[in-house]
Amino acid sequence: MMVAMNDKDTTALAHVAAIPPYPPGRPISAVAREFGLDPARIVKLASNENPMGCSPKALEAIHAAAKLTHQYPDFDCYELRELLVAENGVETGWVLPGAGSSDLILQAARGWLGAGRNAVIPQYSFASYESGAAAQGASVINVPARGWDHDLDALVKAVTPETGVLFLATPNNPIGTAVAPAALEAFLAAIPAHVLVVLDEAYREFLPAAERPDLQRLIAIRRNLLVLRTFSKIHGLAALRVGYGIAHPSIISILKRLQLPFAVSTAGQMAAVASLRDRRFTQSCEELNTAENARLSRAFAEGGFDHVPSRANFILFHVGDGPGTAQALMRRGVITRPVANYGLKTWLRVSIGLVEENDIFLGHLRELLPEGSRAG
Ligand SMILES: Cc1ncc(COP(=O)(O)O)c(C=O)c1O
């Protein structure tokens, strides 16, 4: 006999049942179905993906990998790992690929958090930090931002002897601000040694080279540090789920025990290798993003929309009614990201798209809100 259950009846752990589900950007197919739109005319600017797609070399690698689908992938991701080791000037043992950086965020939570421990998390942080901590039954210490920036002093002060992990993203999603390298180094030196600092650099490549944190300096300052990177953003491989962590081998060795075996697909490994070797492609993505970031920022200013200057591939801008405007834009075939779940009900986040996509977005935004929207 089938027994109907609702959320209240669940026999799952209460702290797990209380975790808010991850709020993903809506896929084009779902929006097309709901609003009766032609999928080909929908512009998706909701998940900070790469509007240029991925490198043609990565596409070739994916085709080649398709023939190996019946075999398990290389467990150790040998070729990818060794390329990352060389690129980052670290030794073998310092790099661990995972199924997106999300995978490594959850591994860090599982290795370092549990009942009786806490995670220190800045206000306006990527949602998986909190859900990862909550899934472990750990408590969360939320640290208010200072304006739109992380309050680094307050984060240091928030640490307790029970803190297992401190999560910090720079550039930060959903805000787009970044921590200057010197401030980051001083901050890392000030965090007590027992805390694993997870430094999430998902948007690193969108920073000008001089503003990117220097890995060698960071690992010299702090041993208990896990740096996370991803192939989902500048490399345009989000669907293949590839990310990696860089950390002292003693940390990598713990994370490895928590890995889903064969989590990184063969296509993911081969495409990531090909993309790393195609510097010309990522360079062109960086250039498009820089130019369109500047153009969109100017358009917001001219149109009377407050926005937060962005160091990433998305921009937070003020609309008054975030969810309502997102819905109105969606009806017109433009998918943006409401950020009410971050306590930002009057703002929206838009990913920086191709020139034509940004023009379509701006055209609809101006029609919907001809007067713009100041935060007041
Ligand atoms: C700050 C940050 N970290 C991590 C991720 C997860 O990326 P992935 O799991 O695709 O590597 C994202 C995705 O948007 C992000 O914004």
Provide the mean pLDDT of the chain. 95
Q: How confident is the model at residue 207 (pLDDT cuts 50, 70, 90)?
A: very high
pLDDT over 80 at 27, yes or no:
yes
Distance CA 137, CA 116 (A): 8
pLDDT at 374: 85
pLDDT over 80 at 212, yes or no:
yes
Who has greater pLDDT, 10 or 47?
47
pLDDT at 328: 97
Q: How confident is the model at residue 129 (pLDDT cuts 50, 70, 90)?
A: very high
Distance 150 CA to ligand 1 centre (A): 18
| Ligand 1 contacts CB of residue 238 (under 6 A) | yes
pLDDT at 256: 97
Distance 194 CA to ligand 1 centre (A): 25
| Ligand 1 contacts CB of residue 236 (under 6 A) | no
Which residue blocks in 5-124 are alpha helix, DSSP H? 14-17, 28-35, 56-66, 78-88, 100-112
Specify the range with the lowest mean pLDDT, choosing from 22-36, 156-170, 265-279: 22-36
> Helix or strand or coil: residue 232?
coil
Residue pair 90/219 in contact (Cβ under 8 Å)? The answer is yes
| Ligand 1 contacts CB of residue 245 (under 6 A) | no
| Ligand 1 contacts CB of residue 50 (under 6 A) | no
pLDDT at 279: 96
Mean pLDDT of 271-281: 98
Closest CA to 108 of 19, 205, 191, 224: 224
| pLDDT above 90 coverage of the chain, percent | 93
pLDDT over 80 at 1, yes or no:
no
Nearest CA to ligand 1 atom 12: 202
| Ligand 1 contacts CB of residue 100 (under 6 A) | yes
Distance 129 CA to ligand 1 centre (A): 10
Closest CA to 215 of 203, 225, 206, 202: 225
Nearest CA to ligand 1 atom 3: 202
Q: What is the residue-wise DSSP string for 250-292? A: HHHHHHHHTPPTT-S-HHHHHHHHHHHH-HHHHHHHHHHHHHH
> Helix or strand or coil: residue 111?
helix
pLDDT at 360: 97
Please identify, by atom number, the ligand 1 atom nearest to the C-alpha of residue 169: 1
Distance 100 CA to ligand 1 centre (A): 7
pLDDT at 267: 98
| pLDDT above 70 coverage of the chain, percent | 98
Distance 370 CA to ligand 1 centre (A): 33
Nearest CA to ligand 1 atom 16: 173
> Helix or strand or coil: residue 38?
coil
pLDDT at 26: 83
pLDDT at 5: 61
Across the chain, which distance is largest between two alpha carbons, in Å? 64
pLDDT at 7: 66
Distance CA 158, CA 208 (A): 31
Distance CA 97, CA 88 (A): 13
Residue pair 229/46 in contact (Cβ under 8 Å)? The answer is no
pLDDT over 70 at 3, yes or no:
no
pLDDT at 114: 97
Going along the chain from its start, the domains and CATH numbers come out as 23-53+280-368 (3.90.1150.10), 56-277 (3.40.640.10)
Distance 205 CA to ligand 1 centre (A): 13
pLDDT over 80 at 297, yes or no:
yes
Q: Phi and psi dihedrals of 179, rounded to 5?
A: -90, 135
pLDDT over 90 at 23, yes or no:
no
Q: Phi and psi dihedrals of 120, rounded to 5?
A: -95, 125
Mean pLDDT of 308-336: 97
| Ligand 1 contacts CB of residue 313 (under 6 A) | no
